[in-house]
Amino acid sequence: MIKSCIFCNEKVIYNKFFYKERQDLAERFKNILDVSLKIFTCENCQFSYCPDVSKKDLDKFYAEFYINKIERNQNRFVEFNSRFFTQVNYYINHCKLNKGLRILEVGPNQQGILPSIKIFQNKVTYFYYDQIDINSKHDDVHKLGSYWDPHKDKLPEIDLIWMSHSLEHIHPLDLDQTIKSFYNALAKNGRIFIEIPNDIANLEFLLPHVLFFKKEGLIKLFQNHGFKVVAISSINEKNDTIEKNKPTKISDENNNSNFFLKTYLFIQKFLPDRLVKKFAFSHFVKNGPYTSLPIIRMIVEK
Ligand SMILES: [Zn+2]
């Protein structure tokens, strides 16, 4: 079936990718996560999207999903969380974390990027919006709201926008206005850090993801909005030799590491800082990036 692209008006197709049912959430959210929704692919824009999902349903999903997700056993030295620590390392390999930086994080969940940024730059002002409150003992942390509507709400002036696994959740009808608002809110040479799962390389399409990019489409989108690309990397793509040689018994591995993690989270409470910090850091170094799934990282600049 052919339809016009909501971004560029070119003819697009919608039978290239299909949503898969989520084993974990299908029962709980069966009225919201409708896998018969179509994913459109535009060869001109070079990305795929699901425009017909209702914004109301998505909001309902997020509101319910996060309510019961508060973890009791929190890791000490959360700044070494390998997702956020590797992201900040990636960022400082390409850009400076200047004193006085005003940072906006989109959907940090309970932790977000702030603790890892604080290792390298303590003097920052941090803004965020999310349905839940972040767990933070730092100063100068400002929640802008639980939801931000790019068509109505204004942002403060910002130097850096952090989007870790949030871009793929933005409703396609809000995408253009969101990037425009980000551009306008950013100071001169302001930057955006983006990390998204590479669902196209992984051939896994799950709601509530509604935007799907390859590197090319992501670059084109941000260039069209006036940004220049500072860095882009595709990590763990399927044709990676490391990936090919990996054992396929993923479920066993996960069970073992879950057990290990739970034991660790319990024991760490009774150990001295010195030992826990050493362990948290060496565990990260040994294990490298936090995931073996394909992801894309990008930094763009105004
Ligand atoms: Zn298009």
Structure tokens at 133: 């409150």
Distance 5 CA to ligand 1 centre (A): 5
Work out the average pLDDT over 251-261. Answer: 59
pTM of this structure: 0.85
CA distance linking residue 85 with residue 88, whole number of Å: 5
186-197: strand order across its sheet: 141-145, 124-129, 101-106, 158-164, 186-197, 295-301, 228-235
Q: Each residue of 60-111: pLDDT tens digit?
A: 888 887 766 655 556 777 787 778 888 998 999 999 999 999 999 998 888 8
Cα(85) to ligand 1 centroid in Å equals: 35
Contact 110, 134 (CB under 8 A): yes
As a whole number, mean pLDDT of residues 145-162 equals 92
Beta bridge partners of 49: 40, 211
Residue 220: its pLDDT value, please?
96
* 47 CA → ligand 1 middle, Å: 8
pLDDT at position 282, please?
65
Which residue segments constitute the domains of the chain, with CATH numbers given?
A: 2-67 (no CATH), 78-239+288-301 (3.40.50.150)
pLDDT of 302: 97
**Least confident residue range of 10-14, 152-156, 244-248, 255-259:** 244-248
As a whole number, mean pLDDT of residues 171-197 equals 96
Polymer length in residues for the chain: 302
Both tokens of 141, joined, read 């942390």
CA of 104 to the centre of ligand 1 (A): 28
Contact predicate 187/157, CB 8 Å = yes
Q: How far is the CA of 275 from the centre of ligand 1 (A)?
A: 53
- 245 — pLDDT class (breaks 50, 70, 90): very low
Q: What is the pLDDT of residue 242?
A: 43
